[in-house]
Amino acid sequence: MAVELADVERAAVRIAPFVDHTPVLRSRVLDAWLGAECFVKAEHLQRGGAFKFRGATNAVLSLSDEDARRGVAAHSSGNHAAALARAARARGIPAYVVMPKATTARKRTAVERLGAEITWCDDSLDARREALQGVLTRTGAVEIHPFDDERVIAGAGTAALELVAAVARLDVIVVPVGGGGLCSGTSIAAPGCRIIGAAPVDRRATVADGLRTGCSERTSAILRAHDVEFVTVAESEIEDARCSVWELARLMVEPSAAIAFGATRDAGLAGARVGIISSGGNVAPREPRVRRLSL
């Protein structure tokens, strides 16, 4: 099943009573640092602290009553797990999540607070898949994949749909890329706009824990079909971006969101009107290191 703009538009209507219409933020000093006119879609202020709530909610609400009664399940490093738990609670159905033992305490606590049943596993994709298969066999729940799901992709695209409705004449939108669900949804929701995906140099060891997976065949095909470009960002630049965004604009973003700001600096976008989807803010608050900013 292909995901089209109409699917994103229907998802926007379906999830509207449940998700926040997050603001588009502006900062002149951030513009100066990034060298572009930037419009930040603040999904780090979304319910649950990440864009993931959009896709999870669209998927859960799309289920038939019969399927919904079985509950929902997924593997996730944290944000999708919390989003799925929140969406399941809103519909009054069980949620089962598989999470790696290395998940941050903040994300672990969020999932536990939302009432999902957690199964812990080693921090590898194979371990996650094996553990999830055991959960699915035991519970009969419906799998809601973090990104390889048309309903999740359409829901994720609603963030960009709101962005392009709020800001005219964007030249480019910069989006973090892990599994490619957000970037796929963005490319569908913003036809005719240049899309840049921001990815870590080494997914296996990056501080951007939400981006440690790779794209699926489905998301890869969507990204190719929409001519999405990619910029890789070094670990030092991800941390520099996180600290700078905090210092300059007081935006508490997690590394998986900060990478989009780092990519904006690296992509040669001087003078452009740039939309940045700040994908999440689930990070323990701490004062950034003191350093001299170069504006």
53-143: CATH topology: Rossmann fold (3.40.50)
62, 76, 77, 216: the catalytic one is 77
Q: Distance between CA 59 and CA 86 in Å, rounded? A: 12
Can you tell me which residue has the tokens 């995906």? 197
Q: Where are the domains of the chain?
A: 5-51+150-278, 53-143
Mean pLDDT (whole number) for 76-102: 92
Distance from the first to the final alpha carbon of the chain: 46
Cβ 271 vs Cβ 99: under 8 Å: no
Residue 147 has pLDDT above 60, yes or no: yes
Mean of the pLDDT values across residues 146-167? 97
pLDDT in the model for residue 284: 66
Sole residue written with tokens 């930037």: 38
Let me know if the fold of 5-51+150-278 is the same as that of 53-143.
yes
> Would you call 70 exposed, middle or buried from its count of C-beta atoms within 10 A (0-12, 13-18, 19+)?
middle
- Annotation marks residue 101 as catalytic: no
Give yes or no for residue 290 having a pLDDT over 50.
no
Whether the full predicted model's pTM is greater than 0.85, yes or no, is yes
Decide if 27 is catalytic: no
pLDDT band at 94 (very low <50, low <70, confident <90, very high): very high
Pick among 3.40.50.10490, 3.40.50.1220, 3.40.50.1100, 3.30.2080.10: CATH of 5-51+150-278: 3.40.50.1100
